[in-house]
A and B are shown apart, each in its own frame.
Chain A
């Protein structure tokens, strides 16, 4: 019953965000959409592709984008098909076995979450980083001379990434989306994300991080309509070593496309204690390593 409820929620998400027929998508830089294969192909392509530039001379990511090289958010590790997720290879490209290198306490905690806690995404919580970049739905990238902005239609999440070299916030400011600081390295946008409150998961099965997490994202265009994203996850409270996941973004090439309202919380009937879902599952307040 518990498992059933969680899967049902995941299925709703998958069904809501399946690509709509008739949308125009660009080419994925000639790469396969399969996780792992996409990463290998994109790593080669990014060395030769010369991206378009904004008037400021930085690579031009502007436009509408959807995730690629990832088929669902059930599980970022290799998994079989589920409701709303066709299954597939792990998004984890390092370590090479595709497994998140959890410390023993964290592996035990993660194994329980799926059966004991509500997926924070089912409550319309903000996705955090890097999940924002592989969340289902259509996204938009805006650029100004001193920032890059990534917006999701799903839950109308957004992240403003200053590229003006400003200092970080102090460690006591905790945010669902963290704070991002960006810089340009060659053709790549490198984004360091800290200050996450860590009350969201990477996926529906409870892969998690703590508030000590330090994420370094690298966004690189590999073709006019394709972006490769690599995210290095470092969290000494939870993992035995830093690890890396990779995926992509594919351009929605319809020039008339518009993002419309997505009122997730407002329409969410599962949201309060006493409903069927909350009778069985707890709210996730974040993970704490044993002292």
Chain B
């Protein structure tokens, strides 16, 4: 009997804390409360980079010449290809050193741009989140207050529309072309690709990044990639350049 008032106190504290922090239910980490921008959104600005090998292969893979071994970023490791699409993936893999659009220095699409082994910078404005990528100086304008334009549109990087769900920046991306791959290993999609990205602060220097992939022309069901984004902590971090096609021109012309 004597414990009841304490239990009630604990319960009311829990209820109280929950009501003070309702957004936490949506986040995956639960406990970290990120700093806020002047507009009241979680502040995810800064220079970030992955520490994984997904650019070479998003699935489990052993090392090859120039390719570090890696554990995959695909939940469950299996990608649910339709039969014809699986055949194409194997073909792509066999021709990957010449056929991967990235070898021609084309914009790598979403989410591949996220896990290219280069830093990127997130900048937040009131109605927009802008991501500047060192790789190919790619830019994504993620609009927070607009709708996808009506298609059909085929863009290399798609059309990104964002919203905040609790502490998570959720970005809906459609209007892709079918020209990009998910990795050097030949994992592919069609122009019907629909990506839902989730950027969730997991600590002052970490973002949890999840990308749900839907493409009924290529996959039997939606599937998901997950990885950590790490904040660059160098004394004065700064994006430099990787102008892939310019270096390729120079190499071609110097032959």
On A, residues with C-beta under 8 Å from B are 55, 62, 123-126, 142, 144, 149, 151, 155-158, 160, 162, 166-167, 169, 173, 175-177, 179, 199, 256, 258-261, 263, 265-266, 271-273, 282-283, 285
Q: Which of B45, B238, B243 is in CB contact (< 8 Å) with A162?
A: B238
Q: Nearest 10 CB-CB pairs, A to B? A: A283-B253, A261-B155, A166-B236, A156-B139, A175-B241, A265-B245, A266-B106, A263-B156, A158-B132, A259-B141
A-B contact count (CB 8 A): 82
Q: Mark B143-182, 1 if CB is under 8 A from A, else 0.
A: 1001000000001110100000000000000000000000
Measured CA separation A149–B121 after assembly (Å): 11
Contact indicator per residue, chain B 27-49, by CB within 8 Å of chain A (1) or not (0): 00000000000100000010000
Q: A149-B132, A160-B121 are known contacts. Are A261 and B249 too (CB-CB below 8 A)?
A: no
Could you say which of A123, A151, A162 contacts B130, with CB atoms under 8 Å apart? A151
Q: Is B138 an interface residue (CB 8 A)?
A: yes
Nearest CB of A to B48, in Å: 14
| A258 B146 Cβ-Cβ under 8 A | yes
- The yes or no answer to B105 lying at the interface (CB within 8 A) is yes
Residues of chain B lying within 8 A (CB to CB) of residue A62: 125
Residues of B within 8 A of A (CB): 38, 45, 105-107, 121, 123, 125, 130, 132, 137-139, 141, 143, 146, 155-157, 159, 236, 238-241, 243, 245-246, 249-250, 252-253
Chain A residue at minimum C-beta to C-beta distance from B101: A266
Bound-complex Cα distance A285 to B250 (A): 8
Check if B130 sits within 8 Å of A261, measured CB to CB: no
Q: Select from chain B the residue with minimum beta-carbon distance to A152.
A: B139
- Inter-chain contact A176/B236, CB cutoff 8 Å: no
Question: Cα distance A119–B139 when bound, in Å?
Answer: 24
The CA-CA distance from A175 to B240 in the complex, in Å, is 7
Chain B positions within 8 Å of A272 at CB level: 252
Closest beta carbon of chain B to A2's beta carbon, Å = 17
Partner of A283, one of B45, B106, B155, B250: B250
